[in-house]
Amino acid sequence: MRECSAKTLLMMSSPSTSEGVPVPPPAPPPAPVKTTGSTVTAVIPPNAPHRVSTPSKGSVTANIMASFGTEILNNEPRSTTVTPRSSSSNSKRVNGGKNAKREENDLVEAKVSSIPSAGMGLFAKCPISANAEICEYSGELLNLQQAKSLRDRTYLKAINLCKHINAGVPNGSIGKYINDHPDPGRRNVKFVTRKEQIFVVATRDVAAGEELFIEYGRGHWLFCGVGVFLGLELDSAHVLRATQLLKPREVVCVYSSRAMVDADGLSQGIQFATSFQDERANCRLKPNPFVNQTVMVGAERTIHPGEAIVVRAQDRLAVKTSKISGAGLGAFALTKLSVDNVICEYSGTPVTLEEFESKVSRFPNVALYGFAVQGWSNLDVNKKTVIIDPTDSKGQVRPFFASHACFVNRGSQAQVVNCKFKVLDNDRVLLLATRDIAAGEEMYANYEDFLK
Residues 107-138 have pLDDT tens digits of: 999 999 998 888 899 999 999 999 999 999 99
Burial tier of 385 (Cβ tally within 10 Å: 0-12, 13-18, 19+): buried
Task: Report how far residue 172's alpha carbon sits from residue 153's, in angstroms, rounded to the nearest whole number.
Answer: 14
Q: For each of the domains in the chain, give its residue range(s) and CATH number, in order of start.
A: 6-20+322-451 (2.170.270.10), 38-220 (2.170.270.10), 225-271+281-312 (2.170.270.10)
Tell me if 418 sits within 8 A of 443, measured CB to CB.
yes
Task: Report how far residue 447's alpha carbon sits from residue 333's, in angstroms, rounded to the nearest whole number.
Answer: 19
Whether the predicted model's global pTM rises above the 0.75 cut: no
Task: Report how far residue 340's alpha carbon sits from residue 323's, in angstroms, rounded to the nearest whole number.
Answer: 24
Over range 306-327, report the average pLDDT: 87
Return the amino acid letter for 106: D
CA distance to 20, 109, 324, 327, 345, per residue, from 321 (Å): 12, 52, 8, 8, 21
The reported pLDDT for the residue numbered 274 is 67
Residues 163-176 have pLDDT tens digits of: 999 988 988 889 99
Task: Report how far residue 50's alpha carbon sits from residue 133's, in angstroms, rounded to the nearest whole number.
Answer: 23
- Number of helices and strands (H, E) in the chain? 5, 27
Range among 23-32, 154-163, 336-345 rated most confident? 154-163
The reported pLDDT for the residue numbered 203 is 96
